[in-house]
Amino acid sequence: MVIKKICCIGAGYVGGPTCSVIAYKCPHIQVTVCDRNHDRIEQWNSSKLPIYEPGLEEIVKECRNRNLFYTIDMDSAIQEADLIFISVNTPTKTFGIGKGRGADLKFVEACARKIACLSVGKKIVVEKSTVPVHAAHSILRILKANTHPDVEFQVLSNPEFLSEGTAVNDLLNPDRILIGGDQSPEGQKAVEELCWVYSHWIPKERIITTNTWSSELSKLAANAFLAQRISSINAMSAICEATGADVSEVSQAVGMDSRIGSKFLQASVGFGGSCFQKDLLNLVYISECLHLPEVAAYWQKVIDMNEYQKSRFASRIVEQLFNTITDKHLAILGFAFKKNTGDTRESPAIYICKYLLEEGAHLHIYDPKVEPKQVILDLTSPFVTDDPEGIKTQLEIHDDPYSAVQDTHAIVICTEWDEFISLDYKRMYDSMLKPAFLFDGRKITDHTELTKIGFQVDVIGQRIRNGRPKGSAAVEEIHTYC
């Protein structure tokens, strides 16, 4: 089979960028991205894409309506495709067996049934969504049980390793492409077909092929290892605050060890996003199901450390503001879970805001890429409050950071947007109530300069004396915070 047409079911953070880059690099292959969400497809076909990723808009504009198409006509896309990506959401279950830990595969199963119903001839079905081990086997069982005569399926695992904010570069210059398939001759032929697609721009030595189960587990393992590093440096940040060490200096010293490396060693308010916590919980659940309680407990501690870091940060804000923030106004700078994305899923900012709202604060929120309606949706969800209308009276969304801090008691930095580094903090300080506080949850500002301006500064992983690192001439009370 020569792959001429690709269909992707799911036009979200994985399917949209991935298929845009495939279309960009394989102009002779027709790529169709389909989704049942009409509004999302309309956005992909508009001048304002539904997600923000640096470089994505330019690629979409070049390929759209040439060999890249976005549609709600899923049936035709499936019928015509030689290869079908399943890139739908696999959220953590909210009820039943595995509640709060296991992955809910109902959307994956629905895709498999639809593919089985509509397919003719030979099809390669590729699970792109993050799934538990043996999910491919479940997909294949559904396909075979519902298939028509003369239809053949091969199911592959091709997990994504994208980092939001750098997804386009990750797709254009990946560390590796991982493809898992059945070890039969037919399965290996399907693996070769998908390898051929990626070989249009990726060197052969970066394309790794494994059995299906290794591929599925590798995705969970990669995210677990990355989350573990973040929780490890955040644990060290607490020790630094208690001892007078500087977590940035510790991170640099540790990261220069070639056996460890420097990536994912930046202390912060905690990790977020759609993958880390979900995949860790999934790994915990799998370990429990396999009767490996010690393994489950080990990975659960990575999650616990992340929750502890967010809790410490939020409680420190209240403590520094004289142990009460009722009716006080606080500016929240950043709501996305990281810079260069508008994604708020599992964002630490949601937890911080929830804590502050429960304490009675009024929040003024600014983020350069998150839509105001998304902020309201996140902070009025049942997981945050049982009084959404009351919460709305405590919120104000701003389109400018300077208006957000006007007449506030404190600034809380929750996302490491580059623009927050170069803001005119003197102007902000002059517009705030005094004493003016700044809580740097991402360790991105010049704390010494902020102290000179007059701010009371708290920073993760470092003792601050009147805003200056330990060792300065200041003799005032040490402020330590998480």
3-state secondary structure of 397: strand
User: How many whole angstroms separate alpha carbon 334 and alpha carbon 369?
Assistant: 9
Alpha helices in 72-176 (DSSP H): 74-80, 106-118, 135-145, 167-172
Contacts of 471 (CB under 8 A, 6+ apart): none
- Among 291, 347, 10, which residue's Cα sits nearest to residue 165? 347
Interior angle at CA 16, CA 12 and CA 19, nearest 5: 145
User: How many whole angstroms separate alpha carbon 135 and alpha carbon 169?
Assistant: 28
User: How many whole angstroms separate alpha carbon 81 and alpha carbon 87?
Assistant: 15
Asked if 8 is an active-site residue, the reply is no
| DSSP H or E stretch at residue 259 | none
Annotated active-site residue in 7, 111, 275, 414 = 275
Q: Name the DSSP class of 460.
A: B
Contacts of 349 (CB under 8 A, 6+ apart): 272, 332, 334, 335, 336, 337, 414, 415
- 50: Cα separation from own chain's centroid: 15
DSSP conformation letters of 280-347:
HHHHHHHHHHTT-HHHHHHHHHHHHHHHHHHHHHHHHHHHHTTT--TT-EEEEE--SSSTT----TT-
Residue whose pair of structure tokens reads 């947007």 in the numeric block: 417
Catalytically active residues are 275
